[in-house]
């Protein structure tokens, strides 16, 4: 009798295993067409045609939802070793930000400026794989713009980072332009929190923006909707809790700057259990807002999309468990000839993993490079995509050495 039960149990496990394998095989060969929103112009259609990967995303077969994609991408991928060099750039209110350069740029070399996610930096997997792929495929010089106090940098003044204010990003772009000149292509790329800040910035700048083009990945276009989403169901105990603890850790690492602050009560901030509570205890009093909703509304980039005047690619996944995709104003996108918005059915938050075991490059890495290459081709910009050699003149920058220390935990 026991032997019969054991045989039945084994048969059930085998049947379940075969079912999973069959399901993965079906997912592997199933077409996964993306949803593209844009104003129908000859220019936009040509850009889309130059980017074949933009039309289809085939996810890792066994990653059946956005939660698996999000967690695996953040926690399970190997982080490549890259030796960055750092410069500390002075900004307003006696602050400073860290800029990490993948290489010392040479004359005429296109530059990719990358804005990280919430309390992220050049140590995170998604940033490093993007840098490695950009160098490997297009030989781009990559610069990581760190928000105040992020990326192992010190907070120089009692002012925390905030997506509402884009002056630090503007200072970074001005600084890079002072080095590479006005004619060398400079592309902006943002992930998550950084994507929202970048999108808001290029909208604010309108036709004054000195970026050649911009790419936004997994942005929260409406912070009110995203805060509401993070407070529903299990999100409160998972993503919201982790992100809030990340922000509290950030504040604790710089608490010496706030001990004498009359606007911020550290005890209240450390008690926060959600991002809304954290922002209520920190950003609202520090920046003088009436309430957190007022703060979120001003920081949201959705209202600025209609004002964008440079080529811009927006990438988001419909199953993003963190940022609410409903905040993307599709009507504004389709009325703006400069924007192409691509939505994938799967991909999670900063995921877009592909292949049976997705250890390295992701779908958005390829799409971003295809888009940049298409923009360069459109402008007839000639650049040698192989490694730079001695015949190119290196530009002059004074760097502060940044050793590649033991990698910290990466954050979303």
Q: Are residues 265 and 344 in the same domain?
A: no
pLDDT digits (tens, 9 = 90+) for 34-74: 999 999 999 999 999 999 999 999 999 899 899 999 999 88
Largest separation between any pair of C-alpha atoms in the chain: 82
Residues 252 and 328 in one domain: no
Q: What contacts 24+ positions apart, CB below 8 Å, involve 387-395?
A: 387/139, 388/103, 388/106, 388/109, 388/139, 392/106, 392/107, 392/108, 392/109, 393/106, 393/107, 394/104, 394/105, 394/106, 394/107, 395/104, 395/105, 395/106, 395/107, 395/179, 395/180
Query: pLDDT value at position 178?
Result: 95
Region 150-156: mean pLDDT is 94
SS3 assignment, position 340? strand
Residue 262 confidence (pLDDT): 81
Asked whether 410 and 152 are in contact (CB, 8 A), the reply is no
Question: Are 190 and 317 in the same domain?
Answer: yes
Residue 59 covered by a domain: yes
| Residue 287 included in any domain | yes
* pLDDT score of 401: 41
Question: Are residues 133 and 274 located together in one domain of the fold?
Answer: no
Active-site hit among 74, 216, 320, 332: 320
Q: 371 and 234 share a domain?
A: no
State pLDDT tens for residues 48-59: 999 999 999 999
pLDDT at 412 over 60: no
Domain boundary among 279, 299, 319: 299
Residue 5 lies in a domain: no
For residue 79, what is the DSSP state?
A: P
Are residues 290 and 316 part of one domain? no
Residue tagged active-site, from 192, 316, 332, 410: 192
- Among 392, 408, 360, smallest CA distance to 141 is for 392
What is the rounded average pLDDT for all residues in the chain? 90
Q: Are residues 179 and 274 in the same domain?
A: no
* Surface-to-core class of residue 36, CB atoms within 10 Å of its CB (0-12 exposed, 13-18 middle, 19+ buried): middle
Side by side, the strands of the sheet bearing 312-317 are 35-38, 339-344, 312-317, 213-217, 186-191, 111-115, 141-145, 95-101, 85-91, 400-401
Residue 2 lies in a domain: no
Q: Mean pLDDT lowest for which of 79-83, 171-175, 192-196, 311-315?
A: 79-83
Range of 287's domain? 223-299
SS3 call for 70: helix
| Per-residue model confidence (pLDDT) at position 240 | 97
Q: Phi, psi (5° rounding) for residue 322?
A: -110, -60
Residue 192 annotated in active site: yes
Instruction: Compute the distance between CA of residue 317 and CA of residue 136 in angstroms, rounded to an integer.
Output: 26
Distance CA 249, CA 226 (A): 21
Of 110, 108, 103, the closest CA to residue 392 belongs to 108
In this structure, of 99-113, 313-327, 351-365, 390-404, the range with the lowest mean pLDDT score is 390-404
What whole-number distance in Å separates Cα of residue 279 and Cα of residue 284? 6
Confidence of residue 75 (pLDDT cuts 50, 70, 90): confident
Q: What is the number of domains present in the chain?
A: 2
198 and 289 both lie in a single domain: no
Q: Flag whether pLDDT at 290 surpasses 50.
A: yes
Confidence band for 392, pLDDT divided at 50, 70 and 90 = low
- The Cα–Cα gap between 191 and 150 comes to 14
How does residue 409 score in pLDDT terms, banded at 50, 70 and 90? very low
Mean pLDDT, residues 290-308: 98
Number of H-type helices and E-type strands within the chain? 14, 10
Final residue belonging to a domain, choices 299, 328, 356: 299
pLDDT digits (tens, 9 = 90+) for 157-192: 999 999 999 999 999 999 999 999 999 999 999 999
pLDDT of 121 higher than 70: yes
User: Is residue 176, in this structure, part of any structural domain at all?
Assistant: yes
pLDDT category of residue 399 using cuts at 50, 70 and 90: low
What was the pLDDT predicted at 403? Answer: 38
Structure confidence at residue 319 as a pLDDT band (50, 70, 90):
very high
Q: Rounded to whole angstroms, how far apart are CA atoms 287 and 149?
A: 17
Query: Comparing 29-43, 192-206, 233-247, which segment has the lowest mean pLDDT?
Result: 29-43
Q: Could you tell me the pTM of the whole model?
A: 0.90
Please report whether residue 44 resides in a domain.
yes
- Known active-site residue 349: yes
pLDDT at 388 over 80: no
Q: Which of 116, 146, 349, 410 is an active site residue?
A: 349
Same domain, 138 and 65: yes
Question: Domain boundary at 231, 264, 299, which?
Answer: 299
The CATH number for 159's domain is 3.40.50.1820
Res. 2: pLDDT tops 60: no
């Amino acid at each position: 009798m026991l032997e019969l039960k054991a045989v039945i149990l084994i048969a059930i496990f085998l049947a379940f295993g075969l079912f999973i394998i069959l399901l993965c095989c079906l997912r592997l060969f199933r077409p996964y067409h993306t949803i593209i929103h844009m104003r129908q112009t000859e220019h936009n259609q040509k850009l889309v045609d130059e980017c074949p990967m933009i039309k289809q995303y085939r996810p890792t077969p066994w990653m059946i939802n956005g939660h698996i994609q999000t967690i695996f991408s953040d926690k399970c991928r190997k982080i490549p070793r890259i030796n960055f060099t750092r410069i500390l750039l002075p900004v307003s209110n006696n602050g400073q930000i860290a800029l990490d350069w993948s290489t010392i740029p040479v004359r005429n070399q296109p530059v990719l400026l990358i804005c990280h996610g919430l309390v992220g930096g050049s140590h995170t997997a998604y940033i490093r794989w993007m840098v490695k792929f950009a160098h490997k495929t297009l030989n781009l010089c990559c610069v990581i713009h760190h928000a105040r106090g992020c990326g192992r940098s010190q907070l120089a003044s009692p002012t925390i980072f905030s997506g509402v204010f884009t002056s630090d990003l503007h200072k970074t772009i001005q600084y890079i332009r002072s080095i590479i000149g006005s004619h060398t292509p400079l592309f902006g790329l943002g992930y998550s929190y950084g994507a929202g800040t970048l999108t808001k910035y290029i909208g604010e700048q309108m036709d004054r923006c000195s970026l050649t083009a911009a790419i936004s990945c997994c942005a929260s276009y409406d912070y009110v909707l995203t805060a509401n989403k993070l407070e529903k169901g299990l999100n409160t105990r998972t993503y919201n809790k982790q992100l809030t603890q990340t922000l509290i850790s950030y504040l604790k690492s710089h608490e010496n700057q706030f001990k004498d602050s009359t606007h911020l009560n550290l005890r209240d901030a450390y008690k926060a259990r959600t991002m809304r509570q954290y922002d209520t205890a920190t950003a609202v009093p520090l920046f003088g807002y009436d309430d957190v909703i007022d703060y979120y509304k001003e920081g949201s980039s959705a209202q600025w999309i209609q004002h964008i005047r440079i080529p811009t690619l927006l990438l988001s996944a419909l199953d993003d468990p963190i940022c609410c995709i409903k905040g993307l104003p599709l009507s504004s996108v389709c009325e703006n000839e400069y924007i192409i918005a691509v939505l994938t059915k799967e991909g999670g938050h900063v995921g877009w993993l592909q292949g049976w075991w997705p250890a390295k490059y992701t779908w958005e890495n390829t799409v971003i490079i295809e888009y940049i290459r298409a923009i360069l081709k459109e402008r007839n910009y000639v650049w040698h995509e192989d490694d730079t050699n001695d015949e190119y003149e290196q530009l002059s920058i004074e760097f502060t050495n940044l050793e590649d220390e033991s990698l910290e935990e990466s954050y979303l």
